[in-house]
Amino acid sequence: MAIEVLNNARIATLDSPGYGLIEAGALVHDHARILWVGPEQDLPAEHALAPRRDMGGRLVTPALIDCHTHIVFAGDRAQEFEMRLQGASYEDIARAGGGILSTVAATRAATEEALIAQALPRLDALLAEGLTTVEVKSGYGLEPETELRMLRAARRLAQLRPVRLRTTYLAAHACPPDYKGRADAYIDEVCLPTLRAAHAEGLVDAVDGFCEGIAFDTAQIGRVFDLARALGLPVKLHAEQLSHQGGTALAARYRALSADHVEYATEADAALMATSGTVAVFLPGAFYTLRETQQPPVAAFRAHQVPMALATDCNPGTSPVTSLLLTMNMGCTLFGLTPEEALRGVTTNAARALGLHDCGRIAPGLRADLAVWDVQSPAELSWRIGFNPLHIRIFGGTE
């Protein structure tokens, strides 16, 4: 494929401690992979005649990765947001048909085309901030047909936009009304057989669950993880969001790619995650929306060198966020991450949380997935609020 040189760039490679910054840098790619990166004055002679594209001294980073989203769903929850702020109680909202079950009802009623049409603007908002890889979960069907339809809709998004997409099976998200008080039966009769069907259709890259007092316990999630393991699928988990349930330890036992939320995780959990190589994914949009006060134990994760990622958790109920830049700011302001940790959290460590090893850094051999920004320093990406300085997004070497 045709070779191109991006020159006159400040390049934050994230391939060494710190930002891995290269001043007056150049990057050579073949419209698929990165071939070379370094100071422009050291550009190898073999690339001297390749076409050059002047970056105007702008900052180049790895393209952004959102490793935890629920962007495929139908309906919206603006009305219950309004009701709540007018003083309605949780019960009032539930009686008016609100809450997660309203999203489940709307999603069950939506065709695949309708799910795609409603997800595309969310995806486009993410792409507009330099994203090239996104994870999308099922989990608003809670019955076989809709779970499969959500996954098919998610896969179709990657045919409609230049993006790399990973799908995660999350039928163990909530217990549907028809299984009220019978969570074990829901796992056995719906979650497990539908996982087999979804896997047989090639729709599943990873398996997830919600381990919480209001969702499923560790024994129930363990059964889902056992089947995932038997099918050769990696797992991840919504764990310790609202209370400490032992989900993080369970995730570590199954060598999960990530444990997500983890506000109530402990130092012992951090130690287990370090051993299993599990990424801690923080979701500050949900923390903000729910006005939570328990912050994740960032110091313990740092001390145990647990990789930390950030994601939007885009969903209609608890995190209607389609901005990774805002999420980076929230990660710094609400959880005390450094801007460098925030940038790694939406690139290097987000890739790891998805089990991807060919993106998230700038180094020879990796995909040419890049974001070019109109900023001077990488910290500016986390510092500004409501500001999108993306100049161009490069996906597989192509703008």
Contact between 208 and 137 under an 8 Å Cβ cutoff? The reply is yes
- Tell me whether residue 80 or residue 313 sits nearer to Zn ion (CB atom): 313
- Give the three-state DSSP class for 113: helix
From the CB of 201, what's the least distance to Zn ion, in Å? 23
Shortest distance, position 68 Cβ to Zn ion, whole Å: 6
Subset of 105-144 contacting Zn ion (CB under 5 A)? none
150 residue type, one letter: M
Using CB under 5 A as the binding rule, whether residue 147 contacts Zn ion is answered as: no
User: Which residue number, 25 or 141, has a Cβ lying nearer to Zn ion?
Assistant: 141
Binding segment (CB under 5 A) for Zn ion, from list 89-97, 250-258, 309-317, 338-346 = 309-317
Q: Return the number of the residue (295 or 338) whose C-beta is nearest Zn ion.
A: 295
Stretch that binds Zn ion, among 294-302, 305-313, 328-336, 381-389 (CB under 5 A): 305-313
Q: How far apart are CA 327 and CA 165, in angstroms?
A: 20
CA–CA–CA angle 208, 211, 215 (5° rounding): 105
212 binds Zn ion (CB under 5 A): no
Binding residue count for Zn ion, defined by CB under 5 A: 1
Name the residue nearer to Zn ion (CB basis): 240 or 313: 313
Does residue number 313 form part of the binding site for Zn ion (CB under 5 A)?
A: yes
CB of 315 to Zn ion, least distance (A): 6
Burial 129-163 (b: 16+ CB within 10 A, else e): bbbbbbbbbbbbbbbbebbbbbbbbbbbbbeeeeb
Give the torsion sign (CA, 334, 307, 169, 117).
positive
Q: How far is the CB of 313 from Zn ion (least distance, A)?
A: 5
In angstroms, rounded to a whole number, what is the distance separating the alpha carbons of residues 275 and 357?
A: 19
Cα-Cα-Cα-Cα dihedral sign, residues 285, 279, 305, 340 = negative
For residue 236, the SS3 value is strand
DSSP notation for 308-334: EEE----BTTTB----HHHHHHHHHHH
With respect to Zn ion, which residue has the nearer C-beta, 310 or 381?
310
Q: What are the backbone angles phi and psi of residue 350, rounded to the nearest 5°?
A: -65, -40
**What region, left, alpha or beta, does residue 57 occupy, with left being phi > 0 and alpha being psi -120 to 50 degrees?**
left
Which residue has the CB atom at the shortest distance from Zn ion? Answer: 313
In whole angstroms, the minimum distance from the beta carbon of 146 to Zn ion comes to 17
Comparison of 4 and 263: residue with beta carbon closer to Zn ion: 263
Q: Which stretch binds Zn ion (CB under 5 A): 23-31, 98-106, 191-199, 307-315?
A: 307-315
With contacts defined by CB under 5 A, name the span among 216-224, 300-308, 312-320, 373-381 that binds Zn ion.
Answer: 312-320
Distance CA 208, CA 151 (A): 13
Nearer to Zn ion, 66 or 313 (CB): 313
SS (H, E, C) 203-224: CCCEEEEEECCCCECHHHHHHH
Q: Tell me whether residue 129 or residue 313 sits nearer to Zn ion (CB atom).
A: 313
Q: Using CB under 5 A, which residues numbered 157 to 186 contact Zn ion? A: none
Which range binds Zn ion by CB under 5 A, 58-66, 177-185, 308-316, 330-338? 308-316
66 counts as binding Zn ion under rule CB under 5 A:
no
Instruction: Select 269 or 313, whichever has its Cβ closest to Zn ion.
Output: 313
User: Is 263 near Zn ion (CB under 5 A)?
Assistant: no
Strand-pair category, 279-282 with 308-310: parallel
Tell me if residue 389 falls in helix, strand or coil: coil
State the Cα–Cα distance between residues 223 and 183, nearest whole angstrom.
12
- Using the rule CB under 5 A, give the single segment among 50-58, 117-125, 289-297, 311-319 that binds Zn ion: 311-319
Closest separation in Å from C-beta 121 to Zn ion: 19
Q: Residue 210 or 373: which CB sits closer to Zn ion? A: 210
Q: Does 40 bind Zn ion (CB under 5 A)?
A: no
Give the β-pairing of 164-172 and 131-137.
parallel
Binding site for Zn ion (CB under 5 A): 313
